[in-house]
């Protein structure tokens, strides 16, 4: 089978599916497979066959008793889902429209952010699997957890920071947008933000977004941080959540 | 081992998934009671961090609940599907965290040309894999121990090609070739 494949030709479907399930594909190849799975029934069947072939090996990992909080967290998340219609209508529903800022702007009370975000995220999953890894971040004020901004990133290879309301910034100051992944040594500036306006950052300037990646807005001098690192207080902060 | 194996065969995963798809929370709780600790064990082994592992099992449970209706029974087992949801989240978490340096296969092969495979022929098993049930057992046995270790380090530990090469002190291209051929051999053996 391998001898048939000339160099440079993608591996056959069973080989690709096997490496996908085994876990040895790179992040980008994994995304490539995931993007195909929705529409490629043959690949889906090959992947599921490998899942079953290799499943007994999962028994080699010792079970780990979850903390008692874990099931409670799951229950809370499922509760949140149940307060929204589970089987929504086929046409694009209002909550799938990320540009519908009325939704986000309505969520100014602290505490609603997580629930609403979760509901929105999960409901998008019910309809159709998006073709690429996408991320959502809600940036909240560190003190009262009031959501102030949403970051979205997806197929367009662009990160967009969207305000949920207006923010007061002293005349001699500016908000600066930063991000840092777990394995980066320091935050990277994504630019200065005008209060009440969205900011688009071409993601080509950045490595691929990672789950749990940190985003924050700090208060800096009007022309931005003089050091290239955050110097002022954090006004809004949040971490990336992967949207499957 | 025998106790959990018996409970595996007694637990109706398909019916439980169907319950989740129908919105039956008790079914989801039964599934969590049945598989929670095992799923957490599998995920923690891959991500090597307890808190992150719990986050991922949480996400996996929510995904299983919301996507249960999309499970296609004709393609495979319900238990396999459940584990695929959790493992994929865990693998995405570790793969997205590292950007591997790509070495094209030909370069790797040239670099490895002088590497002798003899040194690994009598390598000891890194896993007590004989305990793993199912049809894969006899097929794994047909692989040389070092190739078996590659497969197990990848599946169980979530290691990338590069990490396995470092772990085994073997050339990257050789590890890639071993895994590719081992997968083909396993598939043929289990056909």
ipTM summary value: 0.85
Collect all residues with Cβ–Cβ distance below 8 Å to A41 and sequence separation of at least 6: none
- Do A111 and A53 lie in a common domain? no
- Do A97 and A192 lie in a common domain? yes
| pLDDT value, residue A124 | 52
CA A147, distance to chain mean position in Å, is 16
CA gap B106, B27 in Å, rounded: 51
Collect all residues with Cβ–Cβ distance below 8 Å to B128 and sequence separation of at least 6: A60
H-state helical runs in chain A: 13-22, 27-37, 41-54, 68-82, 101-106, 112-127
Nearest-CA distance B97 → chain A (Å): 6
| Chain B interface disruption, residue of A6, A33, A54, most B CBs within 10 A | A54
Residue B115 has pLDDT above 70, yes or no: no
Collect all residues with Cβ–Cβ distance below 8 Å to A192 and sequence separation of at least 6: A174, A175, A176, A177, A220, A224
User: What are the boundaries of each domain within chain B?
Assistant: 2-97, 105-189
- Confidence tier at B90 by pLDDT (50, 70, 90): very high
- Do A169 and A99 lie in a common domain? yes
The position carrying tokens 């600066």 is A176
Domain span at A39: 13-60
Closest chain A CA to residue B39 = A63
Closest chain B CA to residue A182 = B97
| pLDDT value, residue A197 | 82
- Do A173 and A236 lie in a common domain? yes
Counting the structural domains of chain A, the total is 2
- Three-class SS state of A206: coil
- Do A113 and A93 lie in a common domain? yes
Closest chain B CA to residue A87 = B66
- Do A147 and A33 lie in a common domain? no
Record: contact B67-A125, CB cut-off 8 A: yes
pLDDT in tens, B53-80: 999 999 999 999 999 998 988 999 999 9
- Among B58, B65, B84, the residue with its CB nearest the CB of A51 is B84
Residue A156 lies in a domain: yes
Record: contact A48-B81, CB cut-off 8 A: yes
CA gap A101, A162 in Å, rounded: 8
| pLDDT value, residue A99 | 40
CA gap B9, B7 in Å, rounded: 5
Residue A176 lies in a domain: yes
Residue A91 lies in a domain: yes
Residue B128 has pLDDT above 90, yes or no: no
More confident residue, B114 or A174: A174
Residue ranges of A 70-109 with Cβ closer than 8 A to chain B: 70-71, 73-75, 77-78, 81-82, 86
- Do A45 and A95 lie in a common domain? no
Topology annotation, domain B105-189 = Arc Repressor Mutant, subunit A (1.10.10)
Cβ contacts below 8 Å, chain A against chain B, sum to: 202
Collect all residues with Cβ–Cβ distance below 8 Å to B98 and sequence separation of at least 6: A27, A183, B160
Q: Which residues of A touch B53 (CB under 8 A)?
A: 64
- Do A102 and A54 lie in a common domain? no
Record: contact A183-B106, CB cut-off 8 A: no
What single string gives the DSSP state of each residue in A33-64? HHHHHTT-HHHHHHHHHHHHHHGGGGGGSPP-
The arithmetic mean of pLDDT across residues B155-180, rounded, is: 93
Nearest-CA distance A94 → chain B (Å): 19
Nearest-CA distance B113 → chain A (Å): 18
| pLDDT value, residue A20 | 97
Q: Is A15 on the interface with B (CB under 8 A)?
A: yes
Q: Which residues of A touch B158 (CB under 8 A)?
A: 23
For chain A, list residues with pLDDT below 70. 1-11, 83-134, 154-157, 203-205, 243-244
| pLDDT value, residue A157 | 66
CA gap B95, B91 in Å, rounded: 6
CA A195, distance to chain mean position in Å, is 24
Record: contact A66-B76, CB cut-off 8 A: no
Residue A55 lies in a domain: yes
CA distances from B141 to B117, B128, B131, B135 (A): 19, 12, 12, 11
- Three-class SS state of A146: coil
Q: Across all residues in chain B, what is the average pLDDT?
A: 83
Residue A2 lies in a domain: no
Q: CATH number of the domain at B2-97, out of 3.30.390.50, 2.40.30.110, 1.10.1740.10, 3.20.20.100?
A: 1.10.1740.10
- Which of A7-11, A212-216, B33-37, B144-148 is the least confident region? A7-11
Residue A7 lies in a domain: no
- Do A138 and A167 lie in a common domain? yes
| pLDDT value, residue B37 | 97
H-state helical runs in A83-194: 101-106, 112-127
Record: contact B80-A48, CB cut-off 8 A: yes
Q: Which residues of A touch B52 (CB under 8 A)?
A: 212
The arithmetic mean of pLDDT across residues B117-126, rounded, is: 53
Record: contact B54-A52, CB cut-off 8 A: no
- Three-class SS state of B167: helix
Contact A135, A211 (CB under 8 A): yes
β-bridge partners, B87:
none
Closest chain B CA to residue A129 = B67
Closest chain B CA to residue A62 = B41
Contact A161, A194 (CB under 8 A): no
The arithmetic mean of pLDDT across residues B174-179, rounded, is: 95
Residue B108 has pLDDT above 70, yes or no: no
Beta strands A147-153 and A188-193 are: unpaired
**Percent residues over pLDDT 90 in chain B:** 61
| pLDDT value, residue A58 | 94
H-state helical runs in B68-134: 78-97, 105-112
């Amino acid at each position: 089978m391998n001898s048939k494949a000339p160099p440079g030709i993608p591996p056959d479907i069973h080989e690709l599916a096997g490496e996908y399930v085994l876990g040895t594909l790179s992040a980008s190849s994994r995304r490539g497979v995931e993007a195909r799975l929705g529409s490629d029934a043959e690949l889906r069947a090959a992947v599921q066959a490998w899942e079953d072939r290799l499943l007994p090996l999962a028994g080699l990992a010792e079970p780990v008793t979850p903390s008692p909080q874990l099931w409670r967290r799951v229950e809370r998340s499922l509760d949140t889902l149940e307060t929204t219609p589970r089987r929504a209508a086929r046409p694009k529903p209002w909550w799938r429209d990320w540009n519908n800022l009325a939704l986000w702007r309505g969520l100014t009370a602290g505490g609603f952010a997580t629930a609403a975000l979760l509901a929105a995220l999960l409901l998008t999953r019910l309809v159709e699997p998006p073709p690429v890894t996408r991320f959502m971040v809600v940036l909240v004020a560190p003190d009262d957890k009031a959501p102030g901004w949403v970051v979205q990133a997806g197929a367009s290879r662009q990160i967009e920071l969207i305000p949920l309301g207006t923010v007061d910034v002293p005349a001699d100051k500016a908000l600066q947008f930063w991000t840092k992944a777990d394995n980066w040594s320091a935050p990277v500036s994504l630019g200065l933000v005008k209060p009440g306006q969205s900011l688009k950052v071409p993601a080509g300037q950045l490595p691929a977004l990672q789950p749990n990646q940190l985003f924050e807005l700090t208060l800096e001098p009007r022309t931005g941080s003089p050091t290239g690192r955050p110097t002022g207080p954090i006004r809004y902060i949040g971490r990336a959540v992967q949207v499957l | 081992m025998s106790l959990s194996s018996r409970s595996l065969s007694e637990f109706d995963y398909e019916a439980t998934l169907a319950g989740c798809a129908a919105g039956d929370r008790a079914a989801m709780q039964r599934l969590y009671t049945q598989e929670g600790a095992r799923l957490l064990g599998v995920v923690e082994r891959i991500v090597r961090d307890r808190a992150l592992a719990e986050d991922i099992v949480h996400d996996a449970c929510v995904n299983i609940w919301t996507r249960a209706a999309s499970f296609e029974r004709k393609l495979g087992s319900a238990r396999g599907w459940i584990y695929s949801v959790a493992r994929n989240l865990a693998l995405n978490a570790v793969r997205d965290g590292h950007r591997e340096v790509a070495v094209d296969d030909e370069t790797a092969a040239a670099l490895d040309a002088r590497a002798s495979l003899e040194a690994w022929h009598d390598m000891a098993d890194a896993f007590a894999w004989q305990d793993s049930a199912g049809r894969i057992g006899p097929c794994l046995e047909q692989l040389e121990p070092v190739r078996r270790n590659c497969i197990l380090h990848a599946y169980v530990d979530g290691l990338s090609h590069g990490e396995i090469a470092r772990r085994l002190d073997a050339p990257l291209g050789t590890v890639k070739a071993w895994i590719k051929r081992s997968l083909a051999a396993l598939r043929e053996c289990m056909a």
